[in-house]
Each structure stands twice: as C-alpha cells, then as structure tokens.
Amino acid sequence: SQQGEEDPQALSIQEGENATMNCSYKTSINNLQWYRQNSGRGLVHLILIRSNEREKHSGRLRVTLDTSKKSSSLLITASRAADTASYFCATDARAGGTSYGKLTFGQGTILTVHP
C-alpha cells in the first residue's frame, strides 16, 4: 500500500510563479524526501527533511514537515520551464537503525511550467 498521498495530481503554472505540492503519509517516519523525475528518466533526489525538522531550504526549494498532521509540502519558487517534471515524496518509516533503502513513494505530482 502507498504511504504517501500527493496533491494535486497535476499542476500547471506560468514561468515565474511559485509551485506548491503536498504530501500526506500514514505512519511515523524517520525522514521524508522529495524526488524529481523528468519524462522518461530515473528519479533524482532533491531534498531530505528529518522528522525533527520543520522546514528546510535548498536553492529555490522549500520543504516543510508537520509530523502532527503527517504532511509535508514542497515549494518551488520562481518556477522555470526546466522545472517541468513529476515530483514524488518518499517516506523512510524505519523507527531505528537504517531503512536499508526501503522508501515508500507517493503517486507524484506532475508539474508543467509554461514559458
């Protein structure tokens, strides 16, 4: 079963606008990650936020995590056409030790940024 549920399923914006994607999950997590997938390619890691963090920034990316609501959001500021891709959240639910790379992925949000 899928741990993460993402919304919206698809998002279409103009260049320069901000894009916000949301992810909800069901169980306690060790950390939550966001990945990007360009059409026909593999997934690429964007950012990781630990369960004891509330917000994290990386360039134009801002991720928030609310463990009480079991939700996260990814904000891409000043979007560019090159940001067009699918974005996935992935949860690492291992309580201790390591997850051995076993992440649970959401269904993803398809982002289209129009020039």
Partner 1 sequence: NAGVTQTPKFQVLKTGQSMTLQCAQDMNHEYMSWYRQDPGMGLRLIHYSVGAGITDQGEVPNGYNVSRSTTEDFPLRLLSAAPSQTSVYFCASSYSIWLAGISGANVLTFGAGSRLTVL
> Is residue 97 close enough to count as binding partner 1 by CB under 8 A?
yes
Residue 28's DSSP bridge partners are: none
Contact between 36 and partner 1 (CB under 8 A)?
no
Q: How far is the CB of 52 from partner 1 (least distance, A)?
A: 6
Sheet containing 71-76: order of strands: 5-7, 19-24, 71-76, 61-66, 55-58
Does residue number 59 form part of the binding site for partner 1 (CB under 8 A)?
no
Of residues 83 and 87, the one with the C-beta less far from partner 1: 87
User: CA 19, 24, 6, 60 torsion: positive or negative?
Assistant: positive
Residues 6+ apart with CB under 8 A from 115: 15, 81
d(CA 79, CA 83): 6
Pick one of 70, 108, 111, 113: the residue that binds partner 1 (CB under 8 A): 108
Q: Quick one: 83 or 92, whose CB is closer to partner 1?
A: 92
Binding stretches for partner 1 (CB under 8 A): 1-2, 4, 30-31, 33, 35, 40-45, 48, 50-52, 88, 90, 92, 94, 96-108
